[in-house]
Amino acid sequence: MDIILYNIIIGFVSLIIGYFFGSIPTGIIIGKVFFHRDPRLEGSKNSGGTNVGRLFGKKIGLLCIILDMIKTVIPLIIVWSIIKFSSLNQVLIDNFGSGIWNNGVLYIYLAPLGAMIGHCYPVFAKFNGGKAVATVAGFVLATSWLISVVGILVFFVTLKLKKYVSLGSMITALSCVICAWVFVIIKYCGPVSFANFGMYGWGDYVVAGFEYAGVMTVAACLLVFRHRGNIKRLSHNEESKIKWMN
């Protein structure tokens, strides 16, 4: 029972570390410091990179997106480093190395999940944040180049065909979930080496597994939930289309 409680605490702390990094309101800071405006009061009324770009220019929007992506990567690296280079590593291997927990990798992925939640519901901005697109993208880019390539292709093809950023973001997130679960099947049931599929992780930890696919699924659900207003507008043909891609 002590070991179970111990590991629950580790997972909770990992989520909290990510949450506070994700709660840094990048778009709001940029808007208020450099433009004396709050992006939550204009446009689509959220602090994500898309709305920031519409209000303050494409370069500023891109900067906001990059910073939001970094908010996800930093806690992932911090928790990985703690587990990798501390006594926690040995404890988790001893107790869960032969089970589904995969040497503590679940706790590593809980940190970016916490960052996604913090980005959407930031404690430093009255729980009114972005829509998780940049943070989910940061998580994918930091953990798998192959899923990143698939996601980028799906996003821009959808954007080219439909001209809706929101629709492209949701379809991309769902495609990443499908890829993650396909890789789980390949890892545990496939006849060939998983390394042939171009996946990589942090140190000894591989991304393919139930932990990664599970976190990716939760992240996609969060992203879609945060786009429920966009879904309603899409269903009524009221969503704004981009004009820079023909």
Task: Over range 106-121, report the average pLDDT.
Answer: 94
Task: Over range 151-173, report the average pLDDT.
Answer: 94
pLDDT of 73 over the 80 cut: yes
pLDDT of 81 over the 80 cut: yes
Is 142 in contact with 76 (CB distance < 8 Å)? yes
Q: How many CA atoms lie within 13 A of 178 on its CB side?
A: 9
Residue 13, classified by CB atoms within 10 Å of its CB into exposed (0-12), middle (13-18) or buried (19+), is: middle
pLDDT of amino acid 190? 65
pLDDT in tens, 124-159: 988 988 999 999 999 999 888 888 999 999 999 999
Residue 58, classified by CB atoms within 10 Å of its CB into exposed (0-12), middle (13-18) or buried (19+), is: exposed
pLDDT in tens, 201-244: 444 444 567 888 999 999 999 999 999 999 999 999 988 887 76
pLDDT in tens, 57-67: 989 999 999 99
